[in-house]
């Protein structure tokens, strides 16, 4: 397996821009590709702003920031990913869109290149099957905010070969992350455990066991968590949580993953959490 030197990132939204930023600050040449110019401009501006904040805080020096930005190229043409040793897909969470992109990348990239998806809930093998290199396809699941969160889940499908897994563990280490190995099942490790906990917190609140503030305070101080489950739900997004719960329930048919009625009603009402200004708490 050739050394990973040039990294492509597809989709420069919330996650893709974080991944592109960390890869560039870790010394990789990065090509970031977006579908639309407006989103590309927003993503690049977000990376600059984030790096400026690190410089202001003194955790990064201005020279290193400029060097990282110099290593980052951006484009709206997927063909510009040609020459990348690794491409990380972070586009919309839609299986058809991802499969179309994987087929395109497979035709474009050199035979040694690895293709990864940052999907939270979709089946990685389904994307791998859209390529002629399923052994070199894996999940590489980062956590939001990418520049801060240490964990990366490396997701092995039933086809991924060991050389690819080894290369991805080495890559994660170069990014300053800690990698864990997960199987290609919905939720991988972290969401498989976290989602039932979050759903149960909604059930407990729905049943009137305690106020939302007391549920959050209880779990925060009682378990040493940085925030309570309802606050965390507002961060993650209630719509996103609902979507992931539905996929997990569909796969496992276990009531543990079934979305509580209150969650569904809140999503229908547009109470999606912080991003919509209202979730369990008000952010207006
Ligand atoms: P986002 O909506 O912020 O960004 C997606 C970007 O992809 C958009 O800017 C869109 O214009 C672009 N895009 C769509 N189709 C494209 C294409 N064919 N080529 C290039 N760009 C394209 O979404 P976000 O939150 O960054 O999520 C991206 C992926 O990461 C999803 O698969 C999601 O499940 C996963 N993920 C999200 C996390 C989160 O906390 N938001 C955490 C971990 C994974």
Question: Does ligand 1 have an atom closer than 6 angstroms to the CB of 35?
Answer: yes
Q: What is the pLDDT of residues 79-99, one digit of tens each?
A: 999 999 999 999 998 999 999
Whether 191 is catalytic: yes
Question: Does ligand 1 have an atom closer than 6 angstroms to the CB of 33?
Answer: yes
pTM of the model: 0.94
**221 Cα to the center of ligand 1, angstroms:** 33
Q: What is the pLDDT of residues 178-204, one digit of tens each?
A: 999 999 999 999 999 999 999 999 999
Q: Is the pLDDT of residue 160 over 90?
A: yes
Whether 98 and 224 map to the same domain: the answer is no
Report which ligand 1 atom has the smallest distance to the Cα of 92: 5
Q: What does the chain come to in residues?
A: 284
> For the chain, what is the domain count?
2
- Residue 36, pLDDT score: 94
Whether 179 and 216 map to the same domain: the answer is no
Strand order through the sheet with 137-142 = 72-75, 29-33, 6-10, 86-89, 114-117, 137-142, 151-156, 178-183
Whether 41 and 160 map to the same domain: the answer is yes
- As to burial, measured by CB atoms within 10 angstroms (0-12 exposed, 13-18 middle, 19+ buried), residue 26 is middle
Q: What is the pLDDT of residues 202-242, one digit of tens each?
A: 999 999 999 999 999 999 999 999 999 999 999 999 999 99
* Selected residue with higher pLDDT from 182 and 2: 182
Q: How far is residue 67's CA from residue 44's CA, in Å, rounded to a whole number? A: 15
- Residue 56, pLDDT score: 96
Mean pLDDT of all residues in 49-69: 96
Helices (H), 72-146: 95-108, 124-128
At residue 265 the predicted structure's pLDDT band, cuts being 50, 70 and 90, is: very high
Whether 65 and 173 map to the same domain: the answer is yes
- Residue 3, pLDDT score: 87
Neighbours of 10 (CB within 10 A): 29
Q: Which residue puts its alpha carbon closest to atom 25 of ligand 1?
A: 14
Position 235 in a domain: yes
Mean pLDDT of all residues in 161-187: 98
Q: What is the pLDDT of residues 106-154, one digit of tens each?
A: 999 999 999 999 999 899 999 999 999 999 999 999 999 999 999 999 9
Mean pLDDT of the chain: 97
Whether 250 is catalytic: no
Last residue of a domain, one of 129, 164, 183: 183
Question: Domain range spanning residue 95?
Answer: 6-183
Whether 210 and 147 map to the same domain: the answer is no
- Residue 210, pLDDT score: 98
Question: Does ligand 1 have an atom closer than 6 angstroms to the CB of 17?
Answer: no
CATH number, domain with residue 253: 1.10.1040.10
Whether 263 and 143 map to the same domain: the answer is no
Question: Does ligand 1 have an atom closer than 6 angstroms to the CB of 118?
Answer: yes
Q: What phi-psi label fits residue 176: left (phi over 0), alpha (psi between -120 and 50 degrees) or beta?
A: left
Report the run of H or E that residue 117 belongs to, with start and end: strand 114-117
- Residue 2, pLDDT score: 72
């Amino acid at each position: 397996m050739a050394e990973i030197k040039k990294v492509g990132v597809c989709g420069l939204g919330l996650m893709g821009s974080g991944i592109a930023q960390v890869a560039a600050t870790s010394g990789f040449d990065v090509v970031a590709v977006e579908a639309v110019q407006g989103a590309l401009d927003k993503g690049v501006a977000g990376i600059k702003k984030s790096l400026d904040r690190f410089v202001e805080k003194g955790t990064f020096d201005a020279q290193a920031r400029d060097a990282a930005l110099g290593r980052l190229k951006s484009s709206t043409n997927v063909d510009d990913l040609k020459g990348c040793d690794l491409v990380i897909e972070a586009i919309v969470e839609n299986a058809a869109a991802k499969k179309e992109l994987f087929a395109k990348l497979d035709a474009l990239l050199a035979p040694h290149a690895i293709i990864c998806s940052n999907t939270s809930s979709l089946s990685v093998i389904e994307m791998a099957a859209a390529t002629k290199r399923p052994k070199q396809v894996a999940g590489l699941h980062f956590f939001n905010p990418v520049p801060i969160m240490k964990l990366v889940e490396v997701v092995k499908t039933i086809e991924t070969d060991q050389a690819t897994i080894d290369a991805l563990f080495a890559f994660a280490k170069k990014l300053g992350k800690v990698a864990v190995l997960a199987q290609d099942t919905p939720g991988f490790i972290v969401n498989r455990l976290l989602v039932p906990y979050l759903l149960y917190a909604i059930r407990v609140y729905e049943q009137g066991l305690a106020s939302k503030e007391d549920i959050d305070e209880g779990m925060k101080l009682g378990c040493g968590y940085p925030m309570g489950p309802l606050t965390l739900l507002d961060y993650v997004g209630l719509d996103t949580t609902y979507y992931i719960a539905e996929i997990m329930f569909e796969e496992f048919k276990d009531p543990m993953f079934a979305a509580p009625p209150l969650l569904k009603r809140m999503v229908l009402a547009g109470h999606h959490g912080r991003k919509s200004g209202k979730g369990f708490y008000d952010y207006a």
